[in-house]
Amino acid sequence: MPKPHLLQLTPYPEADQTPLDAAFIVHRYFDAPDQPALLATVGPLVDAIATNGGRGVSAAILAACPRVQIVAVYGVGYDAVDLAPCRARGIRVTNTPDVLTDDVADLAVAMMLALARGIVAADANVRSGAWAATGGPPLRHRVSGARAGILGLGRIGTAIAQRCAAFGMPIAYSARRPKDVPADWAYVPDPVALAAQSDHLFVALAATAETRHVVGPAVLRALGPAGRLINISRAANIDESALLDALEAQTIAGAALDVFEGEPNVNSRFLPLRNVLLQPHHGSATVETRAAMGQLMRDNLTAHFAGLPLPSAVV
């Protein structure tokens, strides 16, 4: 059986690249000197597309690949994939859930701790010699016992809540409907009401048209001058301009962000702010999780071309 043609939109670790090259005829769109020319040449041959959550797949690329059967996303988010033509043409779409849940939840809690306790500034205080010269940094804030709000209680949101509960934090959450969770986790369907009763508001929603800018001026006002925002979901879930206004005016205590509009190019307004922790979209960036993500992506491709059920289909 001839190898299927794979259009690869993004680079992958060598541990994934080598088996992909062995199983497919790989067309490396991401490093082609003339991407439109490559697409025009190989598009009619493409059977599968491999991408990541940030890059996704546009309608234009899908249109240039009339025989594509499957889009395999290396990542849990698939909001950057144009799903309408996929559904219309019967193109399967897969992602890599579950395998990154713990790492993303770990980072979310680490960001909460770093923000509340000023860990980055404290490190700089020691390195600069300021500790020896003038003393330590100002007092920060306790996390244990503070109120955690989880906006979006899917796999990752649930894992964050479990970690926060271990710190003795009261848990409240928003979701489409109440979940089967511990009895002392409060269901608060309105995001504004959730923010009003949260000291640390975690955003763990999948990004959809309905959730775009769900964290906007009203939620930020409700979070208030003692509240902190932690986003490990998608940038589109937050009105970044409204967040910057709130951080600059100090109408919220701070924010910890792993995702940004236009990343990796971050709005320069963030850079001088002392009340924001900036991370380079690396929630799943551990050796162990990236290996599992690559394996699951490849398992989806292998299953499709073997005529087997897909391990993690979303369309």
Catalytically active residues, by annotation:
234, 263, 281
Phi, psi of 213 (to 5 degrees): 55, 30
Which residues contact residue 11 at a Cβ distance below 8 angstroms, ignoring those fewer than 6 apart? 17, 30, 31
How far, in Å, CA of 148 to CA of 165, rounded? 9
Structure tokens at 188: 């608060």
Residue pair 161/171 in contact (Cβ under 8 Å)? The answer is yes
How far, in Å, CA of 213 to CA of 227, rounded? 18
- The strand pairing partners of 255, in sequence order, are 229, 276
Which residues contact residue 289 at a Cβ distance below 8 angstroms, ignoring those fewer than 6 apart? 99, 100, 102, 103
How far, in Å, CA of 198 to CA of 297, rounded? 36
How far, in Å, CA of 189 to CA of 194, rounded? 8
* Total Cβ atoms within 10 A of residue 37: 10
